[in-house]
Amino acid sequence: MLHAGWNALAKRGRDPLAFLALCSCVAAPVLLPLAAPLLWRDGVPVRALPFVLATIVVHVVYFVALGRAYSTGAYSVVYPIARGLGVALVPVGAYALLDERLSPIGIIGIALVIAGVATLHQLGQRHAIATGGTLGAATFWAVVTGLSIASYSLVDKAGVARLHPVSYMLLMEAGCGFVMFPAAALARGAAVRREWSANWRAIVAVGAMSAAGYTLVLLAFRLSKAGYVVAAREVSIVLSAFIGTLWMGEGRVGPRVAAAVIVLAGVVCVALAR
């Protein structure tokens, strides 16, 4: 719910790149009161540092690609591609890198999620074509976003085994803010100022929602396999189908709800997997 919500707000920003750069500065202060006692108690183990640095780099790529995708394409096209690639690639990477084997019902669940996401993407493409939109740039940046999601999911699954998820999240958000905001201020200073003036309430909300949502994912990584967590997270696709149609007017509700039900069935299978 948090993820679908903050992505919808980011899509509605005047300049999604400037919007996300500002959001990266909000999340760290939100997390600081929770993470500071943990960092004081535990410090940052040396073995966790490579994963923290890697996730900062990959998340910067993710936020830039996501901003580019939302600048050029519809929410109902970008979101399913980006989320679907994560579901498809993470189990493969987790098997190769983390030796995580999935149960038969877990594999069926992931396949259903991928099928539902692919259907939603096709519906989004048809709407974009029907309304005279272009898909090339949006699809490219959505694919880059999806690849970065798969990459940081695998990095973070290993990272939170070495550092508490809340501390890990604070360091990641602080690193992203340290990189993204100065770069955006130098390259797009006027756009950043306009975005803050017009949308500061939404920016604060998205920063908090993003921090809370992904901290919950990191906690889930400690409890289950990466492929299951990433697939279960895609219940957000169900919500995005309603957001894209009812709030943003991106096509008919019926077919999207039907595809979203396929996603939800897959998530139920993942929840039942052992």
pLDDT band at 98 (very low <50, low <70, confident <90, very high): confident
Residue, of 9 and 252, whose pLDDT is higher:
9
- Given a cut of 70, whether residue 157 has pLDDT beyond it is yes
Q: How confident is the model at residue 249 (pLDDT cuts 50, 70, 90)?
A: low
> pLDDT tens for residues 113-155?
778 777 766 776 666 666 555 556 777 888 899 899 889 989 9
Kindly tell me if the per-residue pLDDT of 176 is higher than 70.
Answer: yes
Average pLDDT (22-41) is 91
* Residue 166 banded pLDDT, cuts 50, 70, 90: very high
| CA–CA separation, 106 and 141 (whole Å) | 29
What pTM does this model have?
0.82
| pLDDT at 206 exceeding the cut of 80 | yes
**Looking at residue 257, what is its pLDDT?**
73
Domain ranges of the chain: 2-106+134-224
Among 66-70, 169-173, 176-180, which is the least confidently predicted range?
66-70
Per DSSP, the three-state class of 6 is helix
Which parts of 207-258 are beta strand (E)?
Answer: none
What is the structure's pLDDT at 109?
79
Three-class SS of 14-72? CCHHHHHHHHHHHHHHHHHHHHHHHHHHHCCCHHHHHHHHHHHHHHHHHHHHHHHHHHH
DSSP 160: T
DSSP 134: -
- pLDDT tens across 62-89, in order? 999 988 888 877 776 677 777 777 777 7
According to the model, what pLDDT value does residue 150 have? 87
pLDDT given at position 45: 93
* Residue 274 confidence (pLDDT): 57
pLDDT at 167 over 90: yes
Read off the pLDDT of residues 214-241 as tens digits, 9 standing for 90 and up.
999 999 988 888 877 877 777 777 777 6
Highest mean pLDDT among 2-6, 63-67, 166-170, 189-193: 166-170
Q: What is the mean pLDDT of the chain?
A: 83
Q: Quick one: pLDDT at residue 136?
A: 66
Residues of the chain with pLDDT > 70: what percent? Answer: 88
Name, in order, each residue with C-beta under 8 angstroms of 141's C-beta and a sequence gap of 6 or more. Answer: 65, 66, 68, 69, 72, 73, 78
- Cα(175)–Cα(52) distance, rounded to whole angstroms? 9
Query: Which pLDDT score, from 0 to 100, does residue 196 have?
Result: 93
Task: Please say if the pLDDT value at position 40 is more than 90.
Answer: yes
**What distances in angstroms separate CA 178 from CA 5, 152, 203, 230, one per listed residue?**
25, 18, 17, 27
Other beta carbons less than 10 A from residue 233's beta carbon: 24
Considering only residues 255 and 30, tell me which one the structure prediction assigns the higher pLDDT.
30
